[in-house]
């Protein structure tokens, strides 16, 4: 019953109506429910609350417990909330658990949570930059893709500190253009277009005013542009 009520409350909030009286029940649903109830509770929390909301303090122990759970689904749901609305004051309590998750099946979501932590409290995650590099070379393309969000932010702030990774980004872009990623990343038969755009942005930042890297970057950028143009024309012909 409470699960159905919470779904209706989320719908009301999406339409612009105030459903703040249900916020505490979203917390309780995440704390006390089974997997389905917990999923709805966490989803409601991520939609209802912001980082500064006082009710989030009531959810900290539940998140810590679920992050340590042997149930992958529970840990995944907890990571979703951490990546969206968790306050920066609670980062020290959660960060060690996130580092452990980088070696598990849900490491993609853990990388996104670390990205959120970097945005709100960069000084607290300075010691895990080596893990960012490990994520960039991860065998799972999803984890690698998640790490690019972090590197785009890092390189925008200080491109000179990441010049040594230029070759890695060029190699990744070549693999994308050549269709080496799983078909799940394709969009209308175009190989990972958003990933190509993100890599081109990173390479443009790294190669700006630096002739040493401009050659490799320009060559791969041209290949990416021609690939996007080719698939765009190919899609247009099918319309």
Residue 19 belongs to what H/E stretch?
none
Cross-strand partners of 190: 187
Percent of the chain with pLDDT over 70: 85
Q: Are β-strands 190-191 and 186-187 bridged in parallel, bridged antiparallel, or unpaired? A: antiparallel
Task: Output the pLDDT for position 129.
Answer: 82
Alpha carbon of 227 to those of 37, 126, 204, 216, 234: distances in Å?
45, 37, 18, 17, 10
Q: Give the Cα separation of 217 and 212 in Å (integer).
A: 10
Average confidence (pLDDT) over 103-109? 75
For residue range 126-143, what is the model confidence (pLDDT) as tens digits? 788 888 888 888 888 888
Task: Output the pLDDT for position 24.
Answer: 93
Q: Provide the 10 A C-beta neighbour count for residue 174.
A: 15
- Whether the pTM exceeds 0.85: the reply is no
Kindly indicate the confidence band of residue 234, based on its pLDDT and cuts at 50, 70 and 90. low
Task: Output the pLDDT for position 21.
Answer: 92
Residue 104 belongs to what H/E stretch?
none
Task: Output the pLDDT for position 103.
Answer: 65
For residue range 53-66, what is the model confidence (pLDDT) as tens digits? 888 888 888 989 99
Task: Output the pLDDT for position 151.
Answer: 92
Kindly indicate the confidence band of residue 210, based on its pLDDT and cuts at 50, 70 and 90. low
Average confidence (pLDDT) over 187-201? 86
Q: Give the Cα separation of 146 and 110 in Å (integer).
A: 9
Percent of the chain with pLDDT over 90: 10
Residue 230 predicted with pLDDT over 70 = no
Collect all residues with Cβ–Cβ distance below 8 Å to 122 and sequence separation of at least 6: none
Across the chain, the runs of DSSP E, i.e. the strands, are 186-187, 190-191
Task: Output the pLDDT for position 233.
Answer: 55
**Domain range summary for the chain, segments of one domain joined by +:** 158-239
Helices (H), 49-105: 60-67, 72-85, 91-101
Which phi and psi (to 5°) does residue 187 adopt?
-130, 110
Kindly indicate the confidence band of residue 239, based on its pLDDT and cuts at 50, 70 and 90. very low
Q: Give the Cα separation of 104 and 125 in Å (integer).
A: 19
Contact indicator for 74, 103 with CB cutoff of 8 Å: no
């Amino acid at each position: 019953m409470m699960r159905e009520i919470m779904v209706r409350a989320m719908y009301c909030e999406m339409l612009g109506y105030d459903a703040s009286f249900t916020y505490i029940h979203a917390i309780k649903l995440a704390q006390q429910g089974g997997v389905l109830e917990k999923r709805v509770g966490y989803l409601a929390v991520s939609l209802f609350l912001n980082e500064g909301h006082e009710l989030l303090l009531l959810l900290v122990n539940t998140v810590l417990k679920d992050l340590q759970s042997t149930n992958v689904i529970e840990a995944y749901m907890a990571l979703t909330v951490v990546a969206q609305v968790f306050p920066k004051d609670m980062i020290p309590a959660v960060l060690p658990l996130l580092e452990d998750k980088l070696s598990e099946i849900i490491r993609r979501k853990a990388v996104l949570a670390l990205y959120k932590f970097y945005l709100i409290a960069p000084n607290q995650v300075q010691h895990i930059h080596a893990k960012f590099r490990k994520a960039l070379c991860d065998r799972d393309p999803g984890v690698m893709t998640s790490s690019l969000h972090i590197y785009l932010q890092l390189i925008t702030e200080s491109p000179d500190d990441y010049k040594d990774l230029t070759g890695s980004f060029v190699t990744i872009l070549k693999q994308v253009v050549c269709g080496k990623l799983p078909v799940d990343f394709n969009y209308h038969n175009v190989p990972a277009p958003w990933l190509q755009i993100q890599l081109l942005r990173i390479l443009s930042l790294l190669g700006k005013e630096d002739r040493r890297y401009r050659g490799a970057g320009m060559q791969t950028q041209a290949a990416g542009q021609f690939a996007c143009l080719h698939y765009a024309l190919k899609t247009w012909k099918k319309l």
